[in-house]
A and B are shown apart, each in its own frame.
Chain A
Amino acid sequence: DAEITQSPRHKITETGRQVTLACHQTWNHNNMFWYRQDLGHGLRLIHYSYGVQDTNKGEVSDGYSVSRSNTEDLPLTLESAASSQTSVYFCASSGQNQETQYFGPGTRLLVL
Chain B
Amino acid sequence: GDSVTQMEGPVTLSEEAFLTINCTYTATGYPSLFWYVQYPGEGLQLLLKATKADDKGSNKGFEATYRKETTSFHLEKGSVQVSDSAVYFCALSEMDSSYKLIFGSGTRLLVRP
Chain A residues with a Cβ under 8 A of chain B? 31, 33, 35, 40-45, 48, 50, 58, 90, 92, 94, 97-106
Contact = CB atoms under 8 A, between A and B. Distances in A.
| From A33, A43, A50, A103, residue with most partner B Cβ within 10 Å | A43
Task: Report, as a range, how many residues of chain B touch the other chain.
Answer: 20 to 34
B110 to A, nearest CB: 16
B43 interface: yes
A104 to B, nearest CB: 5
Contacts of A97: 99
Contacts of B101: 33, 99, 101
Provide the main secondary structure of the chain B interface: strand
Given A31-B99, A94-B99, A99-B99, A42 B89 contact: yes
A42 B106 contact: yes
Given A43-B44, A102-B46, A105-B42, 5 more contacts: A41-B105, A42-B104, A42-B105, A103-B45, A105-B41
Interface of B: 4, 32, 34, 36, 41-46, 49, 89, 93, 99-101, 103-106
10 contacts: A31-B99, A43-B103, A45-B100, A90-B43, A100-B46, A100-B49, A103-B36, A103-B43, A103-B44, A104-B43
| From A48, A99, A100, A105, residue with most partner B Cβ within 10 Å | A99
A90 B44 contact: yes
Nearest to A88: B43
Contacts of A41: 105
Nearest to A98: B99
A99 B93 contact: yes
A89 B26 CA distance: 26
B103 A33 contact: no
Nearest to B43: A103
